[in-house]
Amino acid sequence: MLSLKLPRLFSIDQIPQVFHEQGILFGYRHPQSSATACILSLFQMTNETLNIWTHLLPFWFFAWRFVTALYVTDIKNDNYSWPMLVYMCTSCVYPLASSCAHTFSSMSKNARHICYFLDYGAVNLFSLDTLVCTTFHDYYVAMAVLNAVLSTGLSCYSRFLEIQKPRLCKVIRVLAFAYPYTWDSLPIFYRLFLFPGESAQNEATSYHQKHMIMTLLASFLYSAHLPERLAPGRFDYIGHSHQLFHVCVILATHMQMEAILLDKTLRKEWLLATSKPFSFSHIAGAILLCIIFSLSNIIYFSAALYRIPKPELHKKET
């Protein structure tokens, strides 16, 4: 009979520092795992297993929502729906990229960094397309593209500071995700808190509010490393902050998607009367610029990994 042997797991003192997670003591995979071992780890309880599945399963849900939207939309003629479809597509891309990053991040030190570079790029592509038809949309999309590119660069750069300056690394990475979100959400903040009237307040309002609450909670969990920081070793497999962060992010995306779909229907007349729908060239150009410049960032920082001298070589030479 065939028997399947699952990969061995390690404790924090058995792996290089670059793989360490604050408050997580056990359940680490081999730091030079094969691709096969990484895939097998999806079905083994490690400290990454739920990080993978909390984004892999929602990917299929968001993909189903996207395909359903495509099926009921006249894609060729309904340019009003194009930004919404792009948003739903990027809602599928980022959880898939995240689950892949967590799956293959234990193949090597450099592979770990590159996996998360790609993850950051997907997250920032998602942040580009969250809102449409804003009161300052002449500059809104251009700034959103710039923010996505800068955010990818900053978050990639932060990985080079993880060991020497971990607090600065965390601050830079949080800021890299926070400021594009703040810019993207300015129209919603204005609408919910400063702009009264039926055109602003509707059934989608509560979804927007829930989305903001879940986003704030996700940001707190990502920054605070709670609860594992208070009880190291007790939340290695289930319940640590990154798992909770993933759940909050997915719930925030779900709330945001419901809000956008409702707004698309309920505010259509007002939006068409007050702003011109984006053209195909406008939407495609923004996405292509974001992809090209973000990939350039990822390639640059990935190449930089191989230019950094290995600590072991320094020790031998000295």
Please check whether residue 256 lies inside any domain of the structure.
no
Nearest to 131 by CA among 256, 248, 254: 256
Please check whether residue 293 lies inside any domain of the structure.
yes
Please check whether residue 184 lies inside any domain of the structure.
yes
Residues β-bridged to residue 161: none
Q: Which domain holds residue 69?
A: 33-195+277-308
CA 229 to chain centre: 23
Please check whether residue 16 lies inside any domain of the structure.
no
The burial class, CB within 10 Å (0-12 / 13-18 / 19+), for 122 is buried
- Number of residues assigned to the chain: 318
Angle CA 289–290–292, to nearest 5? 65
Under a CB-based contact definition with an 8 Å cutoff, are residues 102 and 51 in contact?
A: yes
Please check whether residue 220 lies inside any domain of the structure.
no
Please check whether residue 290 lies inside any domain of the structure.
yes
Please check whether residue 251 lies inside any domain of the structure.
no
Please check whether residue 55 lies inside any domain of the structure.
yes
Residue type, 265: T
Q: How far apart are CA 40 and CA 313, in angstroms?
A: 33
Total structural domains in the chain? 1
Q: Is the C-alpha dihedral spanning 131, 157, 171, 33 positive or negative?
A: positive
- pLDDT tens, position by position, for the chain (318 residues)? 345 677 899 999 999 999 999 999 999 999 999 999 999 999 999 999 999 999 999 999 999 999 999 999 998 888 888 888 999 999 999 999 999 999 999 999 999 999 999 999 999 888 765 444 444 556 777 888 888 899 999 999 999 999 889 999 999 999 999 988 888 888 788 777 776 555 556 788 899 999 999 999 999 999 999 999 999 999 999 999 999 999 999 999 999 999 989 988 888 887 777 777 778 888 888 899 999 999 999 999 999 999 877 654 344 433
Q: What is the pTM of this model?
A: 0.89
